[in-house]
Each structure stands twice: as structure tokens, then as C-alpha cells.
A and B are shown apart, each in its own frame.
Chain A
Amino acid sequence: MLNTIQAVATRPNARWWLSATAGLAFAATAAVQPAKAQDTIKIGILHSLSGTMAISETTLKDTMLYLIDEQNKKGGLLGKKLEAVVVDPASNWPLFAEKARELISKDKVAVVFGCWTSVSRKSVLPVFKELNSILFYPVQYEGEESERNVFYTGAAPNQQAIPAVDYLMSKDGGNVKRWVLAGTDYVYPRTTNKILEAYLKQKGVKQEDIMINYTPFGHSDWQTIVSDIKKFGSAGKKTAVVSTINGDANVPFYKELGNQGVKATDIPVVAFSVGEEELAGLDTKPLLGHLAAWNYFESIKTPANAAFIKNWQAFTKNPKRTTNDPMEAHVIGFAMWVKAVEKVKSTDPDKVIAALPGIEAPNLTGGMSKMLPNHHITKPVFVGEVRADGQFDVVWKSKGLVPGDAWSDYLPGSKDLESDWVTLKCGNYNKVTKKCGGAS
């Protein structure tokens, strides 16, 4: 390639042509660039569009484009149009940090919406701290973190995992006495299972009634594990599986469950990472009755949700496009950011970060979510059962909204910690040692 360019460039005509085009292109960018920078507010979108995580994150990129488009239709923000800057970190964790740096220092974005996996979030944290910008993180995660520059709009464990387990222990959930905690082997399932194990033991569940199982990413041969679960579940006590199995491995897992005839009436599986989007790749008839816990389901009937689904499908020009929980988290997060910017009449990160706690924005299920001083939000919790059409039937919902707890009350290291960015100005204040700086 290099050779051909040089070869072309040595011919006089071609050289003239090349330099002329280059000059033109330069002039064009130079003319457009400053004008554009003045009348738009840039919003960074940091979601993988290629690689393994593209399956989940592409939709979130589209959601952000939709939200920005809607806001611009309403006249933009502070009299300026919003402009999306989309980058592709390609499911590559170090690349997330690089792209975040690019968004903040080169593109000068006012705020970034992005990340899915916890490891990608951890990899961008230092960048956001160093360059002092804002990240909205939309996915349910393991908690045990609260940063000044990050706003967590997905569920903390107490807004998803704990209520789901409570439901299964109730009469309607089947009085479950025996638990399989199955997960993919990485930080979110490991931490969540640690919290759940501590919680279950506190509720009087014995060690021999808890089975913990981890599998590698993308595990596809579930025969042994499903038959182990069957074996564990036939010991005379009602058994349930709490699944933190990550995206891709779910389809073969559920297929094996269906084929081996594990019915939800015998051993229900409650999943924290399976939503409408994941079920789209599955025949859901054998899965009837298996459960998922989320803060949003597409099937929930509220005027706000109906309008959102309608506009979203019109925007994507796909009448079958599903919606899911992390999308709603972005809807709430974006609305909160807009309100905060309008309140302080500036996109300056320090001012917006100070203004965000206390801001309220409607969620799509009929409540008002509020940004808390610990940078997590209040959300309703729903437990849904899989229907034959791949949607969920809500069988339980929390009374009112549940405030997100950054530091779990059930882990020895974290139960003394508190996060408060308003009065304490600290993400990991130790209530025992009265110091900011985490566990002793």
C-alpha cells in the first residue's frame, strides 16, 4: 500500500492532485470545526460496537442516539444542540481507557454514557478521575464502589439480587430452602454470590444447602452442571437456581435445562443477566416460568413505557425491537443529567456533579427515581416470569422504590462503609474508624 502511494506520488500530475485534495480536505475541516464546537454540547458514548460485548452494548449506543435526538427535537439544552460522539472500544478493556481519554481530552465531551462490564468500568475510572469528567454507568453490578465522577444508574445488589432471593423464600416464590448459586467466573458473579451466601446464612440456610458453581466465559457444554443441579434439587427440599451467568453462556444453559426437562415448577432459575434481548435468541416455550429480577420489564404497562417503546421502535425503524433494563437506566440517567445541567446552567463537571444528588427523573414504570448522595439511584424492583412469547410477566414488585446501596450490609469488609458525596465528600467513609479511606 505504501509503495503504491509513493509510486503514484512521484508522477507530477498525481502529486498535484494529491496535495490539492489534501489541502481541500484540510480547509474544509478547518472551516467546519470551530463553528461546530461553538453551538453544540458533545456527549460521549462509550459502548462496544464490536467484539463479544457488542451483543449487549450496541443497543445502548442506539438508545443514547435516540435520547439525544429526542432532546434536540425539544430544542436541545441551554440553547445549544446536543451532538453524540460515538467511539468503539471493541470489548477490549484497555481500549476503554484509551477511548475515554480521547473522548474527554480530544473531543471535549461534557459527559460520557458508557461501559457494561465491571472490568471496563474499572479500567476507565482513573481516566475520569484524572481528567475530571462524568460517567453514567447503566448496568446492574456488584456494588462495592462509589466514585465522585461516576453515577450508577443500574441496580446495586440490594436492588436486584436480595429482593429476588426474598421472593423465592416467600410462599408465592415456592418456599425455597436449597440454593444453587451459578455464575460465570468473574468479578460480578463472585461478589454477588459472596453477598448472597452471607445473606442466606443470615436467614438460617445451612452450608450444605448452598451449592456454588462457576463456569468459564462462553461455556457451552452444560450437561454435567444441569444434571448436578437436578441431583442437588431432588434432595426433598424445594430448590432454586440463582444465575449470574453472563450473556453468551445463557442460551446453551437454558437449552440444556429445557432439554433435560428441568421445569420452573420443579427448580426455578432466577437470572440477573437475562433480559428481553437475551431471550430473543431462544425458543422460550420450555423456559416458561423461569424468573428474572430487574428494575424494568418491557411488558410493564404504564403510559410512559408505552410511549417510550413506540418512539424507540419508530426511531430504530424496527417494530419488533425490544427494550430492556439497562436502556431504561440510560433513559433515567440522561434525564437526570439534563435536569442537572439546566439547574446549574452549565456543563462544567464540578458544578454538574454537585447538582446531581437530589435530582429526580421519572422512570418508565411509573415512579420518580432520585439520585442519592452515594451516586446510586432509587429504583423499583420487579421479579418476572418468562412467558411463551419471550416477554416477562411481573409476579412480584417491591413496595415503593428501593435506594441503591453502594456498600453491601452483608459483607464483613463493607458493612461499616458508607458513601456520601454531599456532606461527607467521601465514597468509602468508615463508620467505625470515622475516616475516609475504606475498610481498616
Chain B
Amino acid sequence: MRASYDRIIAFVIALGLLVAGAGLAYAGPYEDALAGFTTDDFSDTADAVNAIAASGSPLAGPLIEALQEGRLSFSAKDKKVYIKTKNGALLDAATGKPAEGAAPDDIEAIRLNNRLRGVVDAAVGGLTLMASDPNRRYDAAQAVFKSRAADVLPALDKALAAETNVRVKKAMTEARAAIVLTAEDSSVADKIFAIAVIRDRGDQDALGLIDGLPADQPDAVHKAALAASGKIQSTLAIWSTVQNAWYGLSLGSVLLLAAIGLAITFGVMGVINMAHGEMVMIGAYTTFVVQEFIRTRNPALFDYSLAIAIPLAFLVAGSAGVVIERTIIRFLYGRPLETLLATWGLSLVLQQGVRTIFGPTNKDVGNPSWMSGAFDLGGITITYNRMWIIVFTGMVFVALLGMLRFTRLGLEMRAVTQNRAMAAAMGIRTARIDALTFGLGSGIAGIAGVALSQIDNVSPNLGQGYIIDSFMVVVFGGVGNLWGTLVGALTLGIANKFLEPFAGAVLGKIAILVFIILFIQKRPRGMFALKGRAVET
């Protein structure tokens, strides 16, 4: 009996020790590190993040992720740290359980600065190398490549051994090579192998890593680095030409989009329409109004906002164009100077009108998710918004060509342009066609405004920035010819982008203007001259 009693006591003591031991383990590096978050000091926070990432606690991942997303708060009074979950619940960071009682009144989000964000990204990279989602593993590998933190190496090796996805495996190998290359104690053979891996990556970051190596490398490493650097540079030089061509295409498409409406009103009708830019602006503001409406009524539709805005912008700007033609321009046919002054005055009136209604400040027109971000194609970065604008411009161009070629309205427009008297004699109501043609040109300018709202300011001055460029394109391409406008826009865009790296943006622009002046001296009717009313007057 006595013996069994002792045994029980021993058991209880042992149990107590075990619990105490567990308790001690509980107040381990993770819990100690939490205190660093409560001082509101960037250096303390950085130390805390590193300590937590190294603690191995299961709570470390969620905590650092919460910090990255601004969901980690602290109370200086209670010296406690809280995690706000994505659905708004408050957890005690020390236990991971819901916080007891009401939240303290001095609770404040933990502030980050750029240095800390770098530390946090690296920590998240180290912690998510084994995540189940391959995209997250890939991002983690990239973060490690950037941070080159030597202490991640064991975790990285483990992840690398378990990795099956080819793309992620490659990224991890590169990250490993980056760590090995920058670590001081790696052997020469390891370093040379690492250089080969990084050379095959072949992008700017790889070049930066190799060029940024300290000078005191062993000879063999130094040589390998030089060779790799040269190889990467020659590949990058080829890609940079491709990139310039792409940028030129993109700039050309923007120019074309802005000018194509003017190709109708100025090119086909011969109206010097200085208010063309304001039609573009009206289109951009229509997009803003549509997005504002969607934001307040039905945010789920936001990704479709541009699709809704395009027909609306066409209608709004087009009807504005018809009204302008009927009330002002039709009285001024054949008087280019008066038209120029009247439409210029009109552009000021429209600008100030918009300024009065919407205010002078920029309006926030958001990019739908499918127009944000970029992807890498070989050695160049292609941004989605530019790519879609190129596609969209092509569609507008084809639609307009088809409309002029295959519809009755298009036929009548061409007829009136080529010979007004004859067209009238054939029973075409020329005044109506004038109004509709001007409306069409303005409507297309409105559509351009929808696209330009994605890359430029939506402000009352939006149109002013494009009016000169649009005239330049139309005159250069040849007044009255849509194909001329297309070729003109792309030529100017690509020429500009190939000049810019050498001459800079300011000189590049001047060079283009000088080139056009000289060109117009030689060929006053532009690249593709056409006969039409513009020629007769």
C-alpha cells in the first residue's frame, strides 16, 4: 500500500515535471521574440521577425504572414501581440487562440518600413518553401534568391530534395546557387558550379548577382564570373532590341488609338478638330462614372467595367460629336481657320466644364484584375495593360475598316467625301452623313478614352496631351487614309522607342518632330496621299 502510494507520488511529480518542462518549452524563443513587436521600433521588429522565423514554432508562419499583410497588431500597455484573422477575429499571438475579453483600447497595427518588408519577405520565403501550392513555393524560392540568407540553406536543401515541379525545382536550384555563390566558406568548385547555374538563368538579377561579387575571389571563380557575365550581357542585348520593338509597338498602338478618330474627322472630313482630345477625355470620364457606379452598386462586376464602358463611351462621345457638328461645325465648312479657332475654344469650354462638374483633381480609374501586372516572355517583361491595348487597337481598326468598306453608312461616307455634289445628286442626304461621320470619329475617340484611362491620368487635361500627337500621326500617315494612319502611328512609335535609350525622352521627342517637319517638306500629303474633299479644298 505504502509502496503504491509512493509510486503515485512519484508519478504525480514526474507528471508535474513534464508539464513544467512543457511549460518551459512553451515560453521558448517564439514567445520571447514576441516582446520585440511591442516596442514600436523598426530594429526590434526586424530582430523579432528573424527570431520567430528561426523558432520553428507552428505559429511562426501565420504570424509572419499576418505581419506581411498588416494584420498584426500590438498593445503597448498590455505588452501583447494580436493576430487579426482574414475574417476579422482577434487571436492572441502567443497561443494562437482567440483573445480573451475585449480588445485593449490602445491596439495598433505594427508598422513596417521597406527594410522590414525585405526581412519579412525573406522570412516568409524561408517558411513557405514547403507550401503545398507550387506558385507559393516558386515565390518562396525567388524570395530566397533575392535575400541569399545562408541560414535558409538546410530548409532549402530539404525542399529541393522533395520538389517534383520542374519550374519550382529550377528556381530553388538557382536560389541555392545564389546562396552558395555569396557565402564566404564555399569551395571554388561549388562556386564555379553555382556561376554556371546562375548564368543559365540569364536575366538582369543574375547579371547583378555575378557582377556584384566581391573582387577578392580566387582566380578560377573570377574568370568563370567574367565569362558568365559576358554571356548574359550578349543575351540581354538581343532581348533589349526585342523589348524596344515591343515598347514601340505599344506606343504606336496608343498613338493609333488616339489618332484613329481624328483620321475620320480631320482625315476624311477635313475638319481641323482641336476638340478631338476632349472627346477622348469624355470617353475616359465615362469609364470613371461607370466604375464609380459599379463600385457603389455591384463591386463584383468590376472586372467587366471596361466592357460596359466601351459602348457607353462611344454613345456619349459620339452624340457629343453629332451635337457639335450640328451646332457649330456645319456653319464652318470650308473655313479651316475659323474651324480651328472654334474647335479650340470648344475644347477649352469642355475642359472647364468637366473641371466644374468632376473637380480639377485626377480621378481614380482602376485596372481590372486581367489588366494588372505583367508576365515574362523570354528576357522581356510584358505588362497586361499594354498588351490588351494593342489587341484592342487592332480590333477597333479592323472594325472601322470593315464599317467603311461593307456597310451602307460607310459607302455613303466615302461617297460624300469623294464627291459631295455627285453624292447629293444620287440622293444621299449629305448633311446627315456629315453629322454621322463626325459622330463616328468622336465616338471612336471616346472608345480610345476608355483604353487611355488605363494608362494615363483621368483629368480634364487628358486630351491635351494627345491632340498634337494625333495630328502628327494623321498628317504623317497621309490625310484621309486609315492605312496611312496605321503605318504612321507604328512608325512613329517604334522610331521613338529606339531613339529614347540613346537620346533620352526629351531629345527623342524633338528628333521625331524635326523628322516629321523634314518629311512633310518632301511629301506634303504624307506617306499615303488620297484624293478627297480634303484635297479639293
Contacts and interface: CB of A to CB of B under 8 A. Distances in A.
B430 interface: no
Interface in B460-474: 460-461, 464-465
Interface string A209-236: 0000111101111011101101100111
Interface string B484-506: 00000000000001001100111
Contacts of A144: none
Given A248-B461, A260-B374, A281 B364 contact: yes
B121 interface: yes
Contacts of B57: none
A44 B74 CA distance: 49
Contact of B383 (A248, A260, A278): A260
Nearest to A281: B362
A132 interface: no
Contacts of A388: 70
A95 to B, nearest CB: 14
B234 interface: no
A69 interface: no
Contacts of A277: 361
A264 B114 contact: yes
B273 interface: no
B372 A259 contact: yes
Interface in A225-258: 225, 227-228, 230-231, 234-237, 248, 251-252, 255-256, 258
A224 B42 contact: no
A283 interface: yes
Interface stretch (A51-59, A331-339, A411-419): A51-59
A214 to B, nearest CB: 6
Query: Which of the four size classes fits the interface of chain A?
Result: 35 or more
B374 A261 contact: yes
Interface in A85-134: none
Interface stretch (A15-23, A168-176, A200-208): A168-176
A385 interface: yes
Contacts of A50: 348, 351-352, 355
Interface stretch (B242-250, B475-483, B528-536): B242-250
Contact of B461 (A52, A59, A221): A52
B182 to A, nearest CB: 10
Contacts of A51: 461
A391 B476 CA distance: 45
B506 A252 contact: no
B460 A278 contact: no
A260 B373 CA distance: 6
A261 B504 contact: no
Given A215-B506, A216-B505, A265 B117 contact: yes
A299 to B, nearest CB: 11
A234 B208 contact: yes
B149 interface: no
A404 interface: no
B274 to A, nearest CB: 15
Nearest to B363: A281
A304 interface: no
B244 A224 contact: yes
A281 B458 contact: yes
Interface string B344-371: 0000100110010001111110110000
A172 B208 contact: no
A134 B393 CA distance: 53
A264 B459 CA distance: 26
Given A55-B461, A234-B205, A281-B458, A216 B364 contact: no
B211 A235 contact: yes
Given A185-B506, A218-B465, 20 more contacts: A55-B360, A55-B362, A55-B459, A59-B361, A172-B43, A174-B115, A174-B118, A213-B504, A214-B504, A214-B506, A227-B381, A234-B208, A264-B117, A265-B118, A266-B146, A280-B364, A281-B364, A281-B459, A282-B364, A395-B113
Interface of A: 49-52, 54-55, 58-59, 171-174, 185, 213-216, 218-221, 223-225, 227-228, 230-231, 234-237, 248, 251-252, 255-256, 258-261, 264-266, 268, 277-278, 280-283, 286, 289, 291, 385, 388, 393, 395
Interface of B: 42-43, 70, 111-115, 117-118, 121, 146, 204-205, 207-209, 211-213, 243-244, 247, 250-251, 254, 348, 351-352, 355, 359-364, 366-367, 372-374, 381, 383-386, 455-461, 464-465, 497, 500-501, 504-506, 509
24 contacts: A55-B461, A58-B359, A58-B360, A172-B43, A172-B115, A173-B114, A174-B114, A218-B464, A218-B465, A219-B505, A220-B455, A220-B457, A228-B501, A235-B207, A235-B212, A251-B456, A260-B381, A264-B117, A280-B361, A281-B363, A281-B457, A282-B364, A283-B366, A385-B114
